[in-house]
Structure 1
Amino acid sequence: MNLNIRIAEASDVPALAELYQTTVLEIAPQKYSPEQTQMWASFAVDTAIFQEFILKATTFIATDETEIVGFAGIAENGRVTATYVRKDRIRQGIGTILMEEIIKYAYNQKMPHLYAEASEFSLGLFQKFGFYIYDTEIVSRHGVEFQRYLVELIWH
């Protein structure tokens, strides 16, 4: 697989919003209700909020020969803000490559630990890299509730 990894720029936000929304709409119904799926996907609709989500963190983008196939972000405090792979490229190693980039970046920035709020879909990726579940939480978005896994990776 020939992937290029680079940092997201403002000009990438529309393509990232499209990837986010189409992927959520495609995969979320496997584990989430129609209401949860629609609420989750709607996050990408507010361009200003989505742009802040992408650009406030350090967001790595994976591209193949033609287009963006995934992205993952990390905030200055060690919070992994996103891990998304395009719906037709899931389970092809892209998430692994992006997570390796996140961990390398965090280590180089001397972040003492990483943490995230993982969905049913991203939990396995986090666990593959040694993150452990320390709690779960229920969050409400406009009256729609979601369970998330609180995961953490501490350097040894």
Structure 2
Amino acid sequence: MSVAIRAYHRDDAKGLADVFYEAIHTGAAKHYTPAQRQAWAPYTDMPDTWPGRLAVLNVWVAEADGEIAGFMAATPQGYIDFAYLRPRWMGRSVAQALYDVILERARSANLTRMTTHASLLARPFFARQGWQVDKMEIVDINGEQLKRFAMSLTLGAPHDPTL
């Protein structure tokens, strides 16, 4: 298996929406009830707001075996807003490859801290990368209560190339 990581293109939006839906409805099935998953990702079709939401983020796409296997997206300030994989690609180093690019970009931007809100499924992955849980939260999404974790990673002082 060969995984290629590339920058997001606007025409990827539909494919990423499909990954998002599949990751939540199938990949997170052991962690959230059907009602919670439906509240989290209620649409099988791409919402109209999806391309605009992705356009303001730094989005990285993983391709493997001719398909989009997953994606991660972060704000320029270091907030990881999306981290989703097709279930068949979980546990096959795709998330790690995406994360490595996001982390390298954060360090290149001299960020000293990164944050995210991790699901029950994503929390162990981030913990393995050295992230800490700052707070457990219960959030209301479309009338359903979902557990998530505010997490952070300290990257250290920015590198000064003049030293």
TM > 0.5 fold call: yes
Conserved 8 A contact 1:118-1:149 = yes
Identity of aligned residues (%): 22
Structure 1 counterpart of 2:150: 150
Structure 2 counterpart of 1:38: 38
Letter of the 1:35 counterpart = A
Q: Does 1:92 align with 2:92?
A: yes
Cα drift, residue 29 of structure 1: 2.3
Q: Work out the CA distance in 2 between the residues paired with 1:20 and 1:152.
A: 22
Letter of the 1:40 counterpart = W
Conserved 8 A contact 1:113-1:155 = yes
Structure 1 vs Structure 2 CA RMSD: 1.5
Structure 2 counterpart of 1:4: 4
Q: Work out the CA distance in 2 between the residues paired with 1:121 and 1:50.
A: 22
Gaps of 5+ in 2: 157-163
Structure 1 counterpart of 2:161: none
Q: Note closer, same or farther for the CA distance 1:2–1:66 as it changes in structure 2 (3 Å cut).
A: same
Gaps of 5+ in 1: none
The count of corresponding residues between Structure 1 and Structure 2 is 156
* 1:59-95 CA distance string (max 9 Å, x none): 1001124111110011011101111111111110101
Q: Work out the CA distance in 2 between the residues paired with 1:24 and 1:124.
A: 16
Q: Work out the CA distance in 2 between the residues paired with 1:30 and 1:46.
A: 24
Equivalent residue of 1:95, what SS? helix
Structure 1 counterpart of 2:75: 75
Q: Work out the CA distance in 1 between the residues paired with 2:51 and 2:123.
A: 24
Q: Work out the CA distance in 1 between the residues paired with 2:64 and 2:143.
A: 38
Between structures 1 and 2, the one with greater helix share: 1
The structure that has the greater radius of gyration is 2
Deviation above 3 Å: which 4+ runs of structure 1?
Answer: 43-46
Q: Work out the CA distance in 2 between the residues paired with 1:43 and 1:127.
A: 30
TM-score, with normalisation over the residues of structure 2?
Answer: 0.89
Letter of the 1:111 counterpart = L
Structure 1 counterpart of 2:107: 107
Equivalent residue of 1:29, what SS? coil
Cα drift, residue 7 of structure 1: 1.1
